[in-house]
């Protein structure tokens, strides 16, 4: 599966977008796909290399520094630059802006896991050369970034000269006009020791404030049968290697540049580890590294298979999205998934609720061990969540920070940041969802139950009893155009869910004899469980009797409706053109809020109420967030509003690959990528996984011929193919499963064929 483009246009805008599109990452390291030889002076670029969860602290000034407001934030760092390679054909330097491009192509090979630039170039003096540059970040050897640089002389004989650069002095990208990026460019990485060992160079650096360390190692292996010279040099903050290779007409020559990144978060001695990882990679060689990468991806695609017949452009985009999710997700419990993955510096590498609500659902059903790592990351910062709860005045429980890397809050605007208490409910939902899909009871005993108990404690402390109902005041739901409200429907329902599962897990662990040690460690007593149960049954869920729908919060329906039809297109997104207080006084939603609750917690309301709510919020939601339309599509599918479901699905899956919002240059939209997959699997296929099992209600848009995908459910691999008239469900391997299709129970032993039911809305 390959995505290729010709890039004969060297337009600066296109180049920066393609830095994102073709970036290389493996969940630990991420490298933007900049030209090795760089761009001309004056061109804009975001030249970056990143390590997941590797951060420094940056000042975050508060105009009025009230108690508890964050005055510093974590930020993901641009670390050492090992991309640079300059090529000279004799005395002429390779430069795409000089001479002429005879042929050129840029390719992402998602089966083999590398990107490639293919160029046939004629120099100003007429030398013609074929250049193939492959780049790979290994899914098997996480610290490794490989550049495989090959040159073929087409019409000349001469010496090739390469200058391969290893830069320790780098800075983060900044844009004061974009709230998703840092406002000021800052230098966070301070190179210390720089040294050379034969053809290898090492740079050991420290962060300016966080106390973390990093070592990058670079080595070169020449791939040529002829004479060559290779020498490495070092200075205060950088190193470089000079390579000279004699080449004759028709011959190929080149080298492999091995870069490794090791940090003190994962390695006790990052310098020693860099040396060891580099030596192992060089000894392995490129052929074995390519083979390992292909084997890893063969397994991934076998589990994550998805194919749409009838729209190849969309099919490519969806598979691209799944590949990017794999590239973005942390592969151990020390990291998670940034809002931009490891493709750029948008949102400064922070983790949001995106991971739990939009990304983990994909991994739950394709690569559950990655989901386990992502949920385990939240457990690793549980103590910081406890501290955050105390900072915000709670005597007990855990309140996870809205945006963070290492656990502390990094949101400067608390009405749309710290006030989003629902993130703790989202994490509770992700724990339970992972358990439903995997059946991993051991994880609940080791980590999951403790998090749920602490989240339940938070809700007890955050809530208040009023006229026999349990209420939660002064919070912000997912809709960031409505902040600091009482009884946000989504938040209250997520609290109800958390409290229910605290009681349920306590019962499960007690029955299995696994509760005593945990209860003793966190001082959990039976009286607390009684309080959880009492509050869960009494959680107040706003409901309007006249319109038979759920108001977003207590005051929402009393506000004036925003006239979206009268708002000029250039005024969207609204947050960039209207003061927050102005937005807060209107019925206008940035994204799905109550509608999201009707998907995640669909059993809380009747289908009539869900329909009424959906139709109401449809008229006042801008979808200014890329996380919104996919949720409306899923709920429309549930309500059998097929045309609307397809409309909301729209082009969201193609957002990044085709740069539909003109902001892919800042990095991919990982949550939107997960949301597009959810809109297909949870929407068009109607998949639900709950405590009582798995169910489906499939349909496909009329413009498609078929939809086929695979999921892993509790150790069994299942393939679903939906055609116009029938759905075929195949048990590929694993134990037989009880399954419901259109509400009717079946036993899936081998294969089921069922007519597609395009029933009308109720």
Nearest alpha carbon to residue 541 among 455, 603, 471? 471
What is the token pair recorded at 296? 């890893």
Please compute the mean of the pLDDT values over residues 233-239 and round it to a whole number. 94
Check if the beta carbon of residue 263 is closer than 8 Å to that of residue 270. Answer: yes
Mean pLDDT within 171-176? 75
Cα–Cα dist 477/489, whole Å: 8
Give pLDDT, residue 321: 97
Q: If you average pLDDT over residues 456-471, what whole number do you get?
A: 98
* Inter-residue contact 401 to 385 (CB < 8 Å): yes
Do 277 and 242 meet the contact criterion of CB atoms below 8 Å apart?
no
User: pLDDT digits over 365-407, tens only?
Assistant: 999 999 999 999 999 999 999 999 999 999 999 999 999 999 9
pLDDT at 2: 85
37 noted as active-site residue = no
pLDDT (mean) for 721-747:
97
How far is the first Cα of the chain from the last one, in angstroms, to the nearest whole number?
Answer: 41
Instruction: Choose the catalytic residue: 277, 480, 528, 536.
Output: 480
Write out pLDDT tens, residues 657-703.
999 889 999 999 999 999 999 999 999 999 999 999 999 999 999 99
Burial of 623 (0-12, 13-18, 19+ CB in 10 A): buried
| Residue 620: C-alpha distances to residues 340, 567, 675 (Å) | 28, 12, 21
What span, in angstroms and rounded, lies between the C-alpha atoms of 288 and 378?
35
Q: Which residues are registered as beta bridge partners of 158?
A: 247
Using the predicted structure, report yes or no on whether residue 431 has a pLDDT greater than 80.
Answer: yes
Number of H helices and E strands in the chain, helices first, is 20, 32
HEC profile of 274-286: HHHHHHHHHHHCH
Token look-up 């001695």 returns: 269
Confidence (pLDDT) at 762? 53
Q: What is the pLDDT of residue 94?
A: 98
The confidence score (pLDDT) of residue 64 equals: 87
Helix (H, G, I), strand (E, B) or coil at 613: helix
Confirm if 458 and 398 have CB atoms less than 8 A apart: yes
Cis peptide before 129 (omega within 30 of 0): no
For the segment 272-277, the average pLDDT, to the nearest whole number, is 98
| Per-residue pLDDT, 182 | 55
Query: Among 434, 430, 498, 435, which Cα is nearest to 462's?
Result: 498
The answer to whether 391 touches 383, Cβ cutoff 8 Å, is: no
Using 50, 70 and 90 to split pLDDT, how confident is the model at 5? confident
- 391-418 burial, b at 16+ Cβ within 10 Å, e below that, comes to bbebeebbbbbbbbbbbbbbbbbbbbbb
With cut-offs at 50, 70 and 90, classify the pLDDT of residue 178. Answer: low
> Which domains, from first to last, does the chain contain?
2-278 (2.70.98.40), 381-541 (1.50.10.10), 543-650 (no CATH), 685-762 (2.60.420.10)
pLDDT of residue 181: 52
**Six-digit token pair at 223?**
């791939």
Write out the two tokens for 235: 């200075």
Say how far apart CA 678 and CA 685 lie, in whole Å: 10
Q: Given pLDDT bands bounded at 50, 70 and 90, which one contains residue 599? A: very high
Residues 275-299 have a mean pLDDT of 98
What's the average model confidence in pLDDT over 166-195?
77
- Backbone phi, psi, residue 529, to 5°: -65, -35
Q: What is the pLDDT of residue 661?
A: 87
Contact between 31 and 83 under an 8 Å Cβ cutoff? The reply is yes
Q: 174: pLDDT confidence band, cut at 50, 70 and 90?
A: confident
pLDDT of residue 332: 95
Write down the mean pLDDT value for the chain. 95
Output the pTM of the full model: 0.96
pLDDT at 710: 98
Average pLDDT over residues 708-720: 98
pLDDT digits (tens, 9 = 90+) for 465-509: 999 999 999 999 999 999 999 999 999 999 999 999 999 999 999
Question: How would residue 63 be classed by pLDDT, with cut points 50, 70 and 90?
Answer: confident
CB 126 within 8 A of CB 137: no
Largest pairwise CA distance in the chain: 90
Segment 57-77 mean pLDDT: 92
For residues 582 and 585, give the distance between their C-alpha atoms in angstroms, rounded to a whole number: 6
Q: How do residues 123-166 score in pLDDT, each as one tens digit?
A: 999 999 999 999 999 999 999 999 999 999 999 999 999 999 99
Residue 177's pLDDT band, with cuts at 50, 70 and 90, is low
DSSP string, 426-471: HHHHHHHHHHHHH--HHHIIIIIHHHHHHHHHHHHHHEEEETTEEE
């Amino acid at each position: 599966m390959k995505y290729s483009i010709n890039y004969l246009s060297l337009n600066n805008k296109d180049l920066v977008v393609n830095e994102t599109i073709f970036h290389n990452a493996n969940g630990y390291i991420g490298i933007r796909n900049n030209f090795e030889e760089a761009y001309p002076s004056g061109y804009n670029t975001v030249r970056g290399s990143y390590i997941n969860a590797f951060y420094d602290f940056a000042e975050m000034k508060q105009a009025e520094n009230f108690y508890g407001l964050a005055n510093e934030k974590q930020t993901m760092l641009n670390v050492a630059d090992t991309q640079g390679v300059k090529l000279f054909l004799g005395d002429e330097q390779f430069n795409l802006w000089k001479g002429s491009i005879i042929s050129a192509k840029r390719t992402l090979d998602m089966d083999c896991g590398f990107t490639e630039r293919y160029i046939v170039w004629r120099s100003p003096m007429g030398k013609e050369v074929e250049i193939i540059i492959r780049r790979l970040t290994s899914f098997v050897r996480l610290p490794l970034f490989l550049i495989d640089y090959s040159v073929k002389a087409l019409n000349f004989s001469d010496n090739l000269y390469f200058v391969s650069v290893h830069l320790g002095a780098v800075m983060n990208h900044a844009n004061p006009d974009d709230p998703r990026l840092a406002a000021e460019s800052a230098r966070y990485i301070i190179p210390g020791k720089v040294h050379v060992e034969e053809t290898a160079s090492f740079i050991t650096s420290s962060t300016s404030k966080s106390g973390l360390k990093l070592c990058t190692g670079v080595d070169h292996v020449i791939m040529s049968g002829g004479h060559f010279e290779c020498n490495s040099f070092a200075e205060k903050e950088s190193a470089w290697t000079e390579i000279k290779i004699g080449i004759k007409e028709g011959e190929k020559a080149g080298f492999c540049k091995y870069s490794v990144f090791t940090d003190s978060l994962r390695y006790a001695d990052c310098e020693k580890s860099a040396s060891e990882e580099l030596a192992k990679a060089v000894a392995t060689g490129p052929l074995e590294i390519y083979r390992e990468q292909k084997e890893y991806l063969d397994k991934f695609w076998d589990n994550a298979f998805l194919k749409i017949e009838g729209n190849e452009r969309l099919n490519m985009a969806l598979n691209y999205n799944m590949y990017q999710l794999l590239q973005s997700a942390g592969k151990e419990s020390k990291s998670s998934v940034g809002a931009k993955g490891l493709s750029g510096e948008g949102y400064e590498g922070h983790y949001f609720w995106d991971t739990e609500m939009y990304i983990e659902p994909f991994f739950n059903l394709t690569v559950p061990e990655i989901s386990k790592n992502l949920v385990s990351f939240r457990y690793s910062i549980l103590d910081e969540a406890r501290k955050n709860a105390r900072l915000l005045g709670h005597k007990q429980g855990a309140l996870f920070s809205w945006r963070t890397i290492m656990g502390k809050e990094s949101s400067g605007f608390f009405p749309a940041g710290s006030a989003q208490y629902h993130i703790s409910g989202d994490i509770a939902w992700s724990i339970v969802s992972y358990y439903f899909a995997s059946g991993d009871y051991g994880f609940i005993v080791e980590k999951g139950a403790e998090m749920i108990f602490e989240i339940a404690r938070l809700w007890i402390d955050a809530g208040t009893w009023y006229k026999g109902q349990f209420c939660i005041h002064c919070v912000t739901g997912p809709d960031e155009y409505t902040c600091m409200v009482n009884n946000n429907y989504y938040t209250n329902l997520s609290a109800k869910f958390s409290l229910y599962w605290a009681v349920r897990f306590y019962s499960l662990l007690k029955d299995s004899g696994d509760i005593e040690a945990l209860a003793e460690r966190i001082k959990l007593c039976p009286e607390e469980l009684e309080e959880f149960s009492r509050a869960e049954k009494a959680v107040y869920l706003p409901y309007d009797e006249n319109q038979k729908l759920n108001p977003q919060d207590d005051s929402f329906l009393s506000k004036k409706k925003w006239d979206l039809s009268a708002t000029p297109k250039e005024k969207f997104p609204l947050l960039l053109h209207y003061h927050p207080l102005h937005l807060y006084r209107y019925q206008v939603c940035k994204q799905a809020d109550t509608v999201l609750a009707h998907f995640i917690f669909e059993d809380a309301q009747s289908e009539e109420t869900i329909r009424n709510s959906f139709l109401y919020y449809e008229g006042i939601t801008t979808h200014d967030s890329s996380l919104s339309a996919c949720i409306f599509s899923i709920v429309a599918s549930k309500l059998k509003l097929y045309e609307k479901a397809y409309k909301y699905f729209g082009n969201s899956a193609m957002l990044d690959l085709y740069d539909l919002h003109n902001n892919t240059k800042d990095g991919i939209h990982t949550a939107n990528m997960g949301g597009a997959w959810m809109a297909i699997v949870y929407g068009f296929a109607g998949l639900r996984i709950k405590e009582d099992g798995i169910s489906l209600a499939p349909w496909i848009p009329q413009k498609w011929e078929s939809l086929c995908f695979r999921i892993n459910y509790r150790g069994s691999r299942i393939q679903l193919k939906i055609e116009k008239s029938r759905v075929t469900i195949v048990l590929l391997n694993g134990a037989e499963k009880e399954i419901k299709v259109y509400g009717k129970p079946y036993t899936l032993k081998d294969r089921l064929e069922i007519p597609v039911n395009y029933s009308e809305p109720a």
